[in-house]
Structure 1
Amino acid sequence: MILGYLVLASVTVFIDEILHYYKRSSKLLSFFSSIIQLSYTLVHEFSHAITTVLTRGKVLEMKLHYNLSGHVRSSSNNWFSRVLVTYSGYTLPCLISIFFFNLMYLENFQWIIISYMIMSFISLIFIRNLYGFCWIIGFIGLLGWILYFNNPIIITHTAIFLSSILLISAVYSGFRILLFTFKFPGEDNDATSLSKNTWIPAKIWSFLFLIQSVLTGIISALIFL
């Protein structure tokens, strides 16, 4: 069942590329794909925000956008905190993905839904744009409805699907930031931000993100072997 959901998650993440390959277009499919994939953007931006809070910094704003981009503006007390906050954006989603696959292995599906609820409520404190606010409210409402009715089948399938989206997106993000860093070296992203703060080239940071994303996929697979 998990393999089937990983395939479905892959189709969801790459739906625009698939439609383009077959010279097709579907605004409806692209719309629903973006709605679902924002669950990864949420985890990514939440990672920046929670790391800021844990390092005694201040989160000024969080935004989630229709095009799957997100943004967290924060202030940190020192150089190490700034580096840690930036690095967490790709690292924590990988760790959370592994954690969720462990929960699935232990059949604690409900705790995956609860974890998403916790991340959503915390993010709601910092969200500052209308689209992001509406999406999080809708996401909380959907997950709350699922938990309220407590149907084991719905909880199980929802948890597996969301965990699969997170894993596929986390792995793909490692490849994507490496590609962007080489293709658009001047573009602002986490790798270039880390480069500015550490004087380590952005390409090295992007390679590190790629390695940890690949390891995330391998470890997640090994959990079920």
Structure 2
Amino acid sequence: MSNWVKTILFLIGSAVLTHWLPTSFFRNLDTMVHEFGHAVATLALSGKVMYIELYSNHSGVTLSTMTKSWAIIPVSLAGYMTASVFAWFLFSAYAKGKQRLGLQVTAAVSILSLVLFVRNGFGVMFLVGFIVLTVVVLALTPKWLRDFYYLLLAFLCLEESVFGPASLIVYAVQNGGAGDASNLANHTGIPAIIWAIGFTLFALWCAKRAVSAFLGRSKRARSSSRPATMGSFRD
């Protein structure tokens, strides 16, 4: 079975399983990372971030001002691409047995978002709750529960990082564009659907790398659990 087929099956399985969760609370993590990507890109290009708002329907917005008009292009690119790379990072850390580091990075990004950017009520409540829960998991829970929590976040981020930009394709077909794809279309003249397809292809490439890392870790774990065999030789 090819890695692309495995990736698609993993994404479908993740979507099915995660939609059975009794709460959509953790889906806001991908939104937070997306908006954090916009904010960091803005600051890197000498812009100013006014605020980030996170909403209960898993959407978000980053309001910023730029001194350079062309900077809107990399800033608009940064959201979905950051979310895709972050999902890949979580699985890469898992493959190396560094789940604690992955949770620490996730908590650090959440704390920075809370302190520096997020100002609306729901966004603040989500981040406070998520930070407290993640710190408790890091400090007090057994390894098996910490690993379960880690993989829950990783698979949610993986699913959201792909299905988020994929939904832009639908919006672009129905309405001519939406969100970051519309911003890019307005500033480049390239249709929003082209940007939406580009975001989705990049997300799928990152997802493929993430799934490969996850399966590689599982394969190594199975191999290490098998008893060693000794060869027999004759002169």
TM-score by length of 1: 0.84
Match of 2:171 among 169, 172, 180: 180
Match of 2:39 among 29, 34, 49: 49
The answer to whether residue 168 in structure 2 is matched with residue 168 in structure 1 is no
Going from structure 1 to structure 2, the CA distance change for 1:12 and 1:92 (only over 3 Å counts) comes to: same
Deviations 1:173-216 (A, max 9, x none): 1211111111111x541101011111211111111012112212
Match of 1:204 among 187, 194, 202: 194
| 1:67-86 superposed matches below 5 A | 67-86=57-76
Indicate the larger mover: 58-67 or 153-162: 153-162
SS at match of 2:61: strand
Instruction: Tell me the percent identity.
Output: 24
Going from structure 1 to structure 2, the CA distance change for 1:182 and 1:14 (only over 3 Å counts) comes to: farther
Contact persistence 1:9–1:161 (CA under 8 A): no
* Structure 1: distance between partners of 2:13 and 2:112: 28
Deviations 1:35-91 (A, max 9, x none): 121111111111111111222211101001111111100112213321111111111
Contact persistence 1:48–1:86 (CA under 8 A): yes
Match of 1:40 among 6, 20, 30: 30
Contact persistence 1:6–1:161 (CA under 8 A): no
Match of 1:102 in 2: 92
Gaps of 5+ in 1: 16-27
Contact persistence 1:117–1:143 (CA under 8 A): yes
Match of 2:130 in 1: 139
* Structure 2: distance between partners of 1:14 and 1:199: 37
Gaps of 5+ in 2: 1-6, 217-235
Alpha-carbon deviation of 1:10?
1.6
Aligned residues: 206
Match of 1:154 in 2: 145
Going from structure 1 to structure 2, the CA distance change for 1:180 and 1:7 (only over 3 Å counts) comes to: closer
Larger Rg: 2
Give the superposed CA RMSD. Answer: 2.1
Contact persistence 2:168–2:193 (CA under 8 A): no
Deviations 1:115-169 (A, max 9, x none): 1111111111211211110110001110111122253222211111101100011
TM-score by length of 2: 0.81
